[in-house]
A and B are shown apart, each in its own frame.
Chain A
Amino acid sequence: MEAENPLLDDYVLSLARTERPRVCFLPSASGDADHYVVRFYRAFEASRCRPSHVSLFRRDGVPMDVRAHLLAQDVIYVGGGSVLSLLGVWSAHGIDLILREAWESGVILCGVSAGSLCWFAEGITAFHGAARPFTGLGLLPWSNTVHYEAERGRGDEYRRRLAEGMCPGFAAEDGTALHFTGARLHRVVSSHPGARAFRMSRTSGRVVRRTLRAAYLGGDGANALPGRVADRGSPSLRVAPEPAAAAG
């Protein structure tokens, strides 16, 4: 959902490997902001997928079976905003459990910014000012931070927490997406040439940062990327920080 750059959106749709995949947007982290929902429907046009969204704030009076709806999707896309608010509201509605169920049954989970952080065991958020740790859904047994490099405070806090025992994980720059199959990082792709991600860990008391080269999706041969395509039916998940979204 980057402005004028559909590369990551195209990539997500390609993972579904069906003609018009069902894509459901969860804008909870933004309080279901109307303009964000509109942006989703613009980015995921009905000509190439079957888009829908679930709002936990805007009630239209029609009872909806959220579980059945989410489990019937090919892709669930979680928008950016406040990861603390996101997890709080999901927990109140039992959405956290439904998403785990969806993931285990093969629905592709994806999201940007807060919608990236939420899948990990823990990480660093700077949405509310000073960078601070949070506890996520833990589908991925790693830590995560987004908007890396763009916001200095996150990186510093992330390193500090890693040194203190936060589990190893991944820092992603804007425009970079981490694609996981199960808990394993399958591929790193990007919508901007040169965008990077980093593997962060602690070895013998020192925080080590290893650069992960991202495959640029816009170049020649974008459809012939190296790497194995996720096995159909296996849990697949992709997370993509992008500059147009709010900080996670």
Chain B
Amino acid sequence: MSPAGSRRRILALGGGGFTSSAEDWPLDELTASLTSRPTPRICLLPTASGDPEEQIRRFYAAFEPLGCELSHISLFRLGTHPVNLREHLLSRDVIYVGGGSLLNLLALWRVHGVDALLCEAWQLGVALCGVSAGSMCWFEAGVTRTYGRPSVASGLSLLRGSNSVHYGGDPVRRAAYRSAVAEGIPGGYAVEDGVALLFAGQELVDVVSSRPGARAYRVQLEGGALVERPLEAREIARPPGSPPSAPVSLVEFREAAQRRSRASRNSLRSIPPV
């Protein structure tokens, strides 16, 4: 891979992570480790769900113990919490896009110019990460279930190919993705909950799973036939009940980082009534 390509990293989660399951905390650790900075600056974009307070709370609860400097941007609350979008997004180490509706996500980003900013951030080496709609958005196309019925929606096309999430747990979505690829959308990656794909530039460099047996698949047309091949996944699940552990010095360092994080968070976090 080219040096420039290797700086452009995207971590695409098929489901799970902080928004859904405590057992997925290894995925949150993986997200925080996308940068070598001791105190990763991570910004959440909860746009796809309409900036719900619950998702924002879970984000802070999951990443605070990891010693990160946290923020979030609510596009629906810019009136009361103005943010310089470009300045803030380009100065992060990781941008984390929450799940929700892929259709709404892309529509809102375009209206606010966030699509171009994310492309710029990626090119500058800010790691992009996301779950569900926040995973599919980086690809050329994904499968959205905004009205319950699955349908194909386009993404930002930073990554070539298509992506379908929640692959194991959602048979209707799975069928919709397979038939969409059979009918001509670019082939791509089908990913189950708890599995994450790491891309460096356009190259898939790692497949990790926080749930035993959870997988991802390469789905494409070969000679007119739909082929689904499992991808080798590296399990990063810990034994049940084992807490995250860190050396004492690191714990102290993280406590200090959390205090800083709290201070920075207070400027962005409070959610006023509409």
B51 at the interface (CB under 8 A from A): yes
Instruction: Give B140-172 as 1s and 0s: 1 = Cβ < 8 Å from A's Cβ atoms.
Output: 000001111100000000000000000000000
| Segment 100-123 of B: residues with Cβ below 8 Å from A | 100-101, 103-104, 106-108, 110-112
* Distance of A118 from chain B, by nearest CB (Å): 13
* Distance of A144 from chain B, by nearest CB (Å): 17
Q: Which of A64, A81, A129 contacts B76 (CB 8 A)?
A: A81
30 example contacts (A-B, Cβ-Cβ < 8 A) are as follows A31-B49, A31-B75, A31-B76, A33-B50, A33-B76, A35-B274, A57-B50, A58-B49, A59-B146, A59-B148, A60-B148, A61-B145, A64-B147, A82-B76, A85-B75, A85-B111, A85-B112, A88-B107, A88-B108, A88-B110, A89-B107, A91-B107, A92-B104, A93-B103, A127-B78, A128-B79, A128-B82, A129-B78, A129-B79, A246-B79
Q: Which residues of A contact B148 (CB under 8 A)?
A: 59-64
Instruction: Give A37-65 as 1s and 0s: 1 = Cβ < 8 Å from B's Cβ atoms.
Output: 00000000000000000001111111110
Question: Considering the chains assembled together, what is the distance between the CA atoms of A127 and B272 in angstroms?
Answer: 14
Question: Considering the chains assembled together, what is the distance between the CA atoms of A82 and B146 in angstroms?
Answer: 20
Contact A30 B110 (CB under 8 A): no
Task: Knowing A32-B50, A34-B52, A87-B111, say if A66 contacts B75 (CB, 8 Å).
Answer: no
Q: Which residues of B contact A88 (CB under 8 A)?
A: 107-108, 110-111
Task: Knowing A61-B148, A88-B107, A88-B111, say if A33 contacts B274 (CB, 8 Å).
Answer: yes
Task: Knowing A79-B274, A85-B108, A246-B274, say if A30 contacts B76 (CB, 8 Å).
Answer: yes
Interface size class of chain A, counting residues whose CB lies under 8 Å from the partner chain: 35 or more
Contact A82 B101 (CB under 8 A): no
Task: Knowing A35-B273, A35-B274, A85-B111, say if A57 contacts B145 (CB, 8 Å).
Answer: no
Contact A59 B145 (CB under 8 A): yes
- Closest B residue to A246 using CB positions: B274
Question: Considering the chains assembled together, what is the distance between the CA atoms of A80 and B145 in angstroms?
Answer: 25
Q: Which residues of A contact B274 (CB under 8 A)?
A: 30, 33, 35-36, 79-81, 245-246
Question: Considering the chains assembled together, what is the distance between the CA atoms of A56 and B78 in angstroms?
Answer: 20
The majority secondary structure among interface residues of chain A is loop
- Closest A residue to B109 using CB positions: A88
Closest 3 CB pairs of A and B: A31-B50, A88-B111, A92-B107
- Closest B residue to A65 using CB positions: B147
| Segment 79-94 of B: residues with Cβ below 8 Å from A | 79-80, 82
A247 at the interface (CB under 8 A from B): yes
Question: Considering the chains assembled together, what is the distance between the CA atoms of A82 and B104 in angstroms?
Answer: 14
* Distance of A130 from chain B, by nearest CB (Å): 9
Task: Knowing A31-B50, A91-B107, say if A63 contacts B149 (CB, 8 Å).
Answer: yes
Contact B49 A57 (CB under 8 A): yes
Instruction: Give A58-76 as 1s and 0s: 1 = Cβ < 8 Å from B's Cβ atoms.
Output: 1111111010000000000
* Distance of B257 from chain A, by nearest CB (Å): 30
Task: Knowing A59-B101, A61-B148, say if A82 contacts B78 (CB, 8 Å).
Answer: yes
A208 at the interface (CB under 8 A from B): no
Q: Which of A58, A79, A84 contacts B112 (CB 8 A)?
A: A84
* Distance of B146 from chain A, by nearest CB (Å): 6
Question: Which interface residue of A58, A63, A80, A88 has the most chain B CB atoms within 10 A?
Answer: A88
Question: Considering the chains assembled together, what is the distance between the CA atoms of A64 and B148 in angstroms?
Answer: 8
The majority secondary structure among interface residues of chain B is loop
Contact A84 B79 (CB under 8 A): no
Contact B106 A92 (CB under 8 A): yes
Q: Which residues of A contact B52 (CB under 8 A)?
A: 31, 33-34, 57
Q: Which of B74, B79, B110 contacts A127 (CB 8 A)?
A: B79
Q: Which of B49, B74, B80, B104 contacts A89 (CB 8 A)?
A: B104
Question: Considering the chains assembled together, what is the distance between the CA atoms of A36 and B52 in angstroms?
Answer: 12
* Distance of B274 from chain A, by nearest CB (Å): 4
Q: Which residues of A contact B273 (CB under 8 A)?
A: 33, 35-36
* Distance of B99 from chain A, by nearest CB (Å): 11
Q: Which residues of A contact B49 (CB under 8 A)?
A: 31, 57-58
Question: Considering the chains assembled together, what is the distance between the CA atoms of A92 and B148 in angstroms?
Answer: 16
- Closest A residue to B53 using CB positions: A34
Question: Which interface residue of B48, B49, B79 has the most chain A CB atoms within 10 A?
Answer: B79
- Closest B residue to A57 using CB positions: B50
Q: Which residues of A contact B82 (CB under 8 A)?
A: 128-129
Q: Which residues of A contact B76 (CB under 8 A)?
A: 29-31, 33, 81-82, 85
Q: Which residues of A contact B100 (CB under 8 A)?
A: 57
* Distance of B23 from chain A, by nearest CB (Å): 23
* Distance of B144 from chain A, by nearest CB (Å): 10
Q: Which residues of A contact B110 (CB under 8 A)?
A: 88
Known: A33-B273, A84-B111. 19 other contacts (CB 8 A): A30-B50, A31-B50, A31-B74, A34-B52, A34-B53, A36-B274, A57-B52, A57-B101, A58-B49, A59-B101, A63-B148, A82-B75, A82-B78, A82-B79, A85-B112, A92-B103, A127-B78, A246-B80, A247-B79
